[in-house]
A and B are shown apart, each in its own frame.
Chain A
Amino acid sequence: MRSDVVIIGAGGAGLVSAINAHESGAKVIVLTKEYPTRSQTCMAQGGINAALSNAGEDSVEAHIKNTLKAAHGLAQESAVKFLCEEAIGAVEWLDSIGVPFSRTKDSKIAQRTLGGASAARACYAQDYTGLKILHTLYDRCLSLGIEILDERYLLEFITNKSENKVSVCGVSVLNKRSGEVEIYEAPSVIVATGGYSKIFHKHTTNSSSSTGDGIASALRAGARLSDMEFIQFHPTALKNSSILISESARGAGGYLLNSIGERFTNELLPRDEVARAIYDEMQKGEDVFLDIRHLGEAFIDEELPQERKLAILYENIDPVSDLIPIKPVAHYTMGGIEVDSESMTNVMGLFAVGECANHKVHGANRLGGNSLLELIVFGRQAGNNASKYAKNVKKDENISLHVEVESEVLDKIRNCTCRVSFYEKHKLIGDIFYKNVGIKRDKKELIFALDEIYKIKDDLPLMGVDDKSKIYNNNLVEFLEFKNMLELCETVLLSAIARGESRGAHFRVDAPSENDAIFKAHSIVDESGRVSYEN
């Protein structure tokens, strides 16, 4: 099938790109491995940032300043400026298409304070912000007649090389329902496949689909990845299930307490600092709790209904009367596919947006509420640019032969006897990563982790799938996801080992301070595993 723009991923980033590409006149097809409304974007609770000044004084300048501060010198000022300036229009647009934002008494969009923000800047819809934004975007796509194909798993980006230039010309996907390989041709392809926190296995707040597929495939297609070592830990996930309790609970005045009921940090510091403070308490053998009892039942039910439901269901405690046991877990991946100021990667025609992309606005530590914002602002940009780019490419490429190539690869996996369980290996990687590539890191431990990854890689030929069926073979899809994660683990570790300093979410106990002379730069890693730094 042919179109002007193919979009992989139907989370917030994918759907905003689709709407904008469509509105700028392109024929668009969106492919997703789930259904659009099931994308991880629906899990966002806290809010989306914009300096509207609806709940006190704020300014675009303050938003820029807070974002740059959290980024620890690693954000690109022009990109941050663009993000924050566009924020107000982005939220207004969401409001205009029907997102049911919570309101203030004087009919303005309500705002609350998230960590690292100097003002109440996050616009929210109770604690279902992501859900309501994603569903409204989905409805908007339906109203525009945009074609969205569900349950198509991205295999590879198809590229061609001419005159030293690599450009994209389509994608191959596995139709999960039929088990067949399908090819979609397009001069412009947008990657919007989300982040890679699932490498932490159960130590993450993320959806099980955050396996970094698009990033790994882009790397194989020749794109560069950057800042892969920066992985944000959210301070307050439920202790047993790793399910997120939103930062808005702290923003509203929730306390962090240790086992003896003492507060030990300023709850409203940026995430990296709060996560480290909690980690230190836990290293001392303390349990850590979030206390929102004093906010009162009425407030909790009005502003944090989902949080209460989740705590009751997954931790067997009611936050109205009990302390919530928490721990920090992997939450957001700042690194990803490197893009330029037009959202294009170094592969011509291949664009990236959302958590899988690195627009260099989060640097070493993302602020809460800036990610949903990024989806809207850069989604618009990527959609428009992909559409424009497609209009200027006149080549017709026959890439249907890739069906056979990819089918063979999949048949080979199906026919291989499975002697080593990749599920076990994923769990092992998650545990190693949580311990060694987590909140505090040490060079020796990172090297140990890399060795383990290489060992697992060596075992890959022994891994395979027990399920031989063609129809809806999740076992096969999960194996492909595992292979992608394994590839990304290596890039994370190579980047984390190379960065011999501490900055934002990357904290090295063996080099605890920032070293601007060498490392005030973005790390780049290519397929050969070479790490370099650029500004």
Chain B
Amino acid sequence: MKINIQREKLTQYEFDLEDATLLEALNEIKINQDASLVYASGCRSSVCGSCAMRVNGKEVLACAYKVQDGDLVEPLKNVPIIRDLVVDMSKAYKFNAKAKAWQSSPAKNISVTQEDEKINEVQSDCILCGACYSACPVYTVNSEFLGPFSLTRVWRYVSDKREDNTKDKIDTIQTNGVWDCTLCNECTIVCPQDISSKADIEKLRAKSAISGHMDPNFGSFGGFGGSFDGSPTF
């Protein structure tokens, strides 16, 4: 089987593996053919988020994707490439801090029910792989967009009874946040954990509106009554 890997130059590798994951293929190439190939990995079981990359233009986890003849493997988008398939996630991760994606203070004696826990169960499955961040088209126009995973994380905490200052959380995500999303759904399609950041952003928009915030696009795009792609925002 042959695959092409986007390194400094597009490079083709050939190997003999059956029913293998892309991560196994990369390991095989590195160990037996070219020790200078670099990529990140850890758990090899789709839970640490290290090995996100793009195959044929779509974000996948290398350890969860079964490699196919002719695949084109590239690093994630919207992040600086350090080398080969390794990208620098530090700026992307910093959006979690900018979005204050955490519980403001330790909770005291708050009873969480089975139903409460289900509300954000999916959101707390996020493995911070960055696939959604790579797939999001907004970054080509706004590099400061808080982005899908950090907004999903804000929803996780905002929707949790244990959070005692949701106002501050909602206020924080007004700039470069919920209104900058085009609701294109690209993030949802690539998420290996079946999280829909788009849906979370919509929920955050609704919550923002209830808290008295307005869609800033509403003024400039007044006639269309929606965001960039024309989809309704409420």
Residues of A within 8 A of B (CB): 34-35, 37-40, 42-43, 93, 95-98, 100-105, 107, 125-126, 128, 131-132, 135-136, 139-140, 142-143, 150, 177, 207-209, 241, 243-244, 306, 309-310, 313-314, 316, 418, 421, 423-424, 465-467, 469, 471-475
Q: A38-B50, A96-B108, A98-B160 are in contact. Are A208 and B42 (CB under 8 A)?
A: yes
Tell me which of A38, A102, A207, A475 contacts B35 (CB under 8 A).
A475
Q: Are B125 and A131 interface neighbours, CB within 8 A?
A: yes
B103 closest partner in A (C-beta): A98
Q: Is the interface of B mostly helix, strand, loop or mixed?
A: loop
Q: A126-B121, A131-B127 are in contact. Are A98 and B107 (CB under 8 A)?
A: yes
Minimum Cβ distance to chain A for residue B2 (Å): 22
Q: A102-B117, A177-B82, A209-B42 are in contact. Are A139 and B47 (CB under 8 A)?
A: no
B84 closest partner in A (C-beta): A472
Chain B 133-160 interface mask (CB, 8 Å, partner A; 1/0): 0000000000000000000010011001
Q: Which one of B92-100, B198-206, B218-226 is at the interface?
A: B92-100
Flag whether B211 is at the interface (Cβ < 8 A): no
Q: Please, which residues of chain B bring their CB within 8 A of the CB of A97?
A: 103, 106-107
28 CB contacts below 8 A, A to B, read A37-B48, A37-B128, A40-B43, A42-B127, A43-B43, A96-B106, A96-B108, A98-B103, A98-B160, A103-B117, A125-B124, A128-B47, A128-B125, A135-B124, A142-B102, A143-B100, A143-B104, A177-B88, A208-B44, A243-B44, A244-B45, A310-B46, A313-B64, A421-B31, A467-B38, A469-B36, A474-B38, A475-B36
Tell me which of B38, B96, B107, B117 contacts A142 (CB under 8 A).
B96
A210 closest partner in B (C-beta): B42
Flag whether B173 is at the interface (Cβ < 8 A): no
Q: Are B45 and A243 interface neighbours, CB within 8 A?
A: yes
14 additional contacts (CB under 8 A) given A143-B102, A469-B36: A34-B42, A38-B50, A42-B43, A96-B106, A97-B107, A98-B103, A103-B113, A128-B47, A150-B89, A208-B42, A208-B44, A310-B45, A467-B38, A472-B84
A240 closest partner in B (C-beta): B19
Q: Are B104 and A100 interface neighbours, CB within 8 A?
A: no
Q: Please, which residues of chain A bring their CB within 8 A of the CB of B163?
A: 98
Minimum Cβ distance to chain A for residue B159 (Å): 10
Q: Are A472 and B83 interface neighbours, CB within 8 A?
A: yes
Q: Please, which residues of chain B bring their CB within 8 A of the CB of A469?
A: 36, 83
Q: Are A139 and B96 interface neighbours, CB within 8 A?
A: yes
Q: A42-B127, A107-B111, A142-B97 are in contact. Are A466 and B102 (CB under 8 A)?
A: no
Most buried by A among B48, B83, B114: B48
Q: Please, which residues of chain A bring their CB within 8 A of the CB of B35?
A: 418, 423, 465-467, 475
The 10 tightest CB contacts between A and B, nearest first, are A139-B102, A467-B36, A98-B103, A466-B35, A143-B102, A96-B106, A472-B83, A423-B31, A38-B48, A475-B35
Give the complex CA separation of A302 and B86 in angstroms.
35
Flag whether B126 is at the interface (Cβ < 8 A): yes
Flag whether B58 is at the interface (Cβ < 8 A): no
Q: Are B124 and A132 interface neighbours, CB within 8 A?
A: yes
Give the complex CA separation of A97 and B90 in angstroms.
24
Most buried by A among B43, B107, B125, B127: B43
Give the complex CA separation of A485 and B44 in angstroms.
20
Range, interface on chain B: 35 or more
Q: Please, which residues of chain B bring their CB within 8 A of the CB of A105?
A: 114
Give the complex CA separation of A472 and B121 in angstroms.
36
Q: Are A93 and B106 interface neighbours, CB within 8 A?
A: yes
Q: Are B46 and A309 interface neighbours, CB within 8 A?
A: yes
Flag whether B101 is at the interface (Cβ < 8 A): yes
Most buried by B among A34, A142, A316, A466: A142
Q: Are B42 and A471 interface neighbours, CB within 8 A?
A: no
Give the complex CA separation of A39 and B126 in angstroms.
14
Most buried by A among B41, B42, B128: B42
A35 closest partner in B (C-beta): B89
Q: Are B103 and A139 interface neighbours, CB within 8 A?
A: yes
Q: Are A38 and B90 interface neighbours, CB within 8 A?
A: no
Quick one: which of B34-72 are within 8 Å of A by CB?
Answer: 34-36, 38, 40-50, 64
Q: Are A241 and B48 interface neighbours, CB within 8 A?
A: no
Q: Please, which residues of chain A bring their CB within 8 A of the CB of B31?
A: 421, 423-424
Tell me which of A135, A207, A471 contacts B128 (CB under 8 A).
A135
Minimum Cβ distance to chain A for residue B156 (Å): 8
Minimum Cβ distance to chain B for residue A395 (Å): 33
Q: Please, which residues of chain B bring their CB within 8 A of the CB of A100?
A: 117, 120-121, 124, 156, 160
Q: Are A40 and B126 interface neighbours, CB within 8 A?
A: no
Give the complex CA separation of A475 and B108 in angstroms.
48
Minimum Cβ distance to chain A for residue B110 (Å): 8
Q: Please, which residues of chain A bring their CB within 8 A of the CB of B43?
A: 38, 40, 42-43, 207
